[in-house]
Chains A and B, each alone.
Chain A
């Protein structure tokens, strides 16, 4: 490719960028954007977005496993009746205060950390974080060493011990690799919402909110601003994308 094809002058670049910015900005700090708008399929994800979740433990019903079931169906995860080693992308956890006997129930999944320990330890680069904050395993280059499983403080990852008989075409999974919650990346890229969040909403609990935590106008950002959202093991300084209320 010749240089002239790609080389626009610095001045014209600055001018065009300024025009584009002016078109988007209404007032300082206010931008026009739609939350649910899907990005064009040919566009790469951008770090202007960070996908996150806010889980309200007060609304999460103990005994309800709608999110777990929805995740398993969506991603074709089947049980081998071996609970210790079965794949598990999301699980329900019940916490009980020994003193007061007060119980809270919450879904535990990949926390999509800003500084993910699983990415730090991966020897092949299979464990990585997308620009929009979603932490994934590239199973094409995963060698199944399971370092990431040890590094994860949330026990969020599982190993596929058995051959997977694929039941869905949007989530290829296979034996010998590590897997975890993808925040339903195939849905998110098309403007959708993770299956667990959808199921929680359909079960009329509405305990889970999904959205862009970098966009101040999104529902999740408004809720976080109003009520705050705690990180589990905040002491590790991982800046998780999944936040909880009421813990």
Chain B
């Protein structure tokens, strides 16, 4: 009786072992096992980033930081590693999804990894293509007359007081 039990025990262990092998083979047959959320691909249909995906996963912050300082201090405005271009490419235009939402390109990973970033306290978290104003040179451009100008009281005799008109600017 005892011998029969032992044989059954051995058989069960063998079956369990085999099952584990088979399952793991299935697991590795497809993609690499990963618990990390999938990062949304670019909206323009491209599947390649400016660097290989593994490199970007590990080192995107270094590329962005380097570009940040170069742009700020030296006026180098190449688009390859600019945060604005990340957003322009990875976040759909007119997207309602804001940073912080799990669906946002940056938040999808950062929320999972519990890494808090403060980029979007100032920077735009969605593309603004064409909505921002672009400069032109008045020395070459034709001056066009504008509509009515508002008049404000000029009874200010002191440089420390000033007239500011922000309502006219059309901002919310």
What is A's interface to B at a CB cutoff of 8 Å?
A: 35-36, 39, 41-45, 61-66, 68-70, 72-74, 76-79, 83, 86, 88, 91-96, 98, 103, 105, 108, 128, 130-132, 136, 138-140, 155, 163-170, 172-175, 184-195, 197-198, 201-204, 206, 210-211, 219
Contacts and interface: CB of A to CB of B under 8 A. Distances in A.
A218 B79 CA distance: 30
Contacts of A61: 149
23 contacts: A42-B78, A63-B149, A63-B154, A69-B169, A72-B166, A77-B169, A77-B171, A78-B172, A79-B164, A93-B159, A94-B156, A155-B160, A164-B122, A169-B128, A172-B124, A187-B134, A189-B75, A191-B135, A192-B135, A194-B135, A197-B138, A204-B145, A219-B139
B119 to A, nearest CB: 9
A202 B171 contact: no
Contacts, number: 187
A53 to B, nearest CB: 12
Contacts of A44: 70, 74-76
Given A72-B166, A93-B159, A166 B172 contact: no
- Using C-beta atoms within 8 Å of the partner chain, give the interface range for chain B: 35 or more
Interface of B: 68, 70, 72-79, 84, 87, 121-124, 127-128, 131-141, 143-146, 149-152, 154-157, 159-160, 162-172
Contacts of B122: 139, 164, 166, 172-174
B75 A185 contact: yes
Contacts of A188: 135
Interface of A is mostly: loop
Contacts of A132: 75
Contacts of B128: 168-169
Given A68-B168, A186-B135, 19 more contacts: A41-B78, A63-B149, A64-B149, A65-B149, A65-B152, A79-B166, A79-B171, A86-B164, A91-B163, A131-B74, A155-B160, A169-B123, A189-B75, A189-B77, A195-B133, A195-B135, A202-B138, A203-B146, A204-B143
